[in-house]
Amino acid sequence: MKQIYFDNSATTKLDEEVLKEMLPYLEENYGNPSSIYQIGRANRKAVEEARERIAKALNSEPNEIYFTAGGSESDNTAIKGIAYHYKEKGNHIITSKIEHPAVLETCKQLEKEGFEVSYIGVNQDGILDLEEFKKAIKPSTILISVMFANNEIGTIQPIDEIGKMAKENKIFFHTDAVQAIGSVAIDVKALNIDALSFSGHKFYGPKGIGGLYVRKGVIFDKLIQGGHQERNKRAGTENVPGIVGMGKAIELAYEKLEEHNQKIKELRDYYVQQVKEKIPYIRINGDMEHRLPGNSNISFRFIEGEGLLLNLDLKGICASSGSACTSGSLDPSHVLLAIGLPHEIAHGSLRISIGKYNTKEEVDYLVESLVEIVGRLREMSPLWEEFIEKGEMK
């Protein structure tokens, strides 16, 4: 069965050009970049060239880029590293209720260590409440951490305004930009961002490699002890093939950003319109204007998201659910609950994330499959039967 991939927010297919650039560092150029002999020096040069590519994409300086194993490590390093170093100045951190677990769980851990964390709410479209945000700032606030774009509903936050607010109040500002890099143009200087997390596999690069931008002058404590790699901020032999691949991937992403975004957004809007026309009793989650181009999150009433996913999988379609059932939890997405969805509707949500390799024919097949599957699952649902008996169909 042909597999059709609509889960690009989870990970993306490795670009062939990226793989081609990585291969020499998986084969003949295998030296340790910390070594002084020729193949070591060649790898060190490749690492620094990738650092320059990433810095150019973000409008930062190369020495402000640090390599990590991925977005989660970058989030942990930024939040804990800054909090630990500046704890004598204050112990208060502000974040949002819809952050990725890599941020939320890190903040919960810091609370156990004596830090105070304010979790700011969002409106029904997933946009941060800036008034509540302003009220949360206090003299002891040392760090703000707000994601650039949400991984579930695609909402893009008012990063510019948050950055200005942080700068005016002399508070460090970190943003988890894992979902945004490669889809949104980001200028860390113009946006007053002090630290920014990203991960290669979200923009057609390799897995297991990520990065952290930290503005020059911002000090953060290292979390991994050992060697003196990454200017003594992250111990461990550098993942040279991954770093090279991520450098190439971010360069490719921003070379054709507008072209790819236009194509992806058109497919996304076409998909949403088709679903609205062909399937009743749905709810579109997230702001449709301030949103990642390929993201769609729709709740289908009277069904479970897990059943929807399994049936799509039987048709060769890869997608994601608003329900966390498949990860071992019976609770629906914390993001969907934060925007006000009741549990029963949040459980029936489907996230479709369209990428540069998807086609209109694949979208048509997805919609056709959804019409069939949603109809069948509703017929099996006691909630649907009760809904009909009450005459609400009329």
Q: CA angle, corner 270, sides to 299 and 310, nearest 5?
A: 40
Residue 32 confidence (pLDDT): 92
Kindly state the average pLDDT of the residues 196-222. 98
Query: Which percentage of the chain shows pLDDT scores above 90?
Result: 89
Q: Report the predicted TM-score, pTM, of the whole model to 2 decimal places.
A: 0.95
Question: Which of these is catalytic: 325, 337, 371, 388?
Answer: 325
- CA-based nearest residue to 341, from 301, 372, 381, 311: 301
- What is the Cβ-side half-sphere exposure of residue 89, based on CA atoms within 13 angstroms? 12
3-state secondary structure of 290: coil
3-state secondary structure of 65: strand
Identify the burial level of 40 via C-beta atoms within 10 angstroms of its C-beta, where 0-12 means exposed, 13-18 middle and 19 or more buried. Answer: middle
| Beta-sheet pairing, 116-120 with 141-145 | unpaired
Which residue type does 69 have? A
Instruction: Give CA–CA dist 227/220, Å, rounded.
Output: 17
- Model confidence band, residue 325 (pLDDT cutoffs 50, 70, 90): very low
Instruction: Give CA–CA dist 41/47, Å, rounded.
Output: 10
Structure tokens at 26: 């998986």
Has residue 394 got a pLDDT over 50? no
Alpha carbon 357 to chain centroid distance? 19
366-392 pLDDT tens trace = 999 999 999 999 999 888 888 887 765
Q: Is 107 a catalytic residue?
A: no
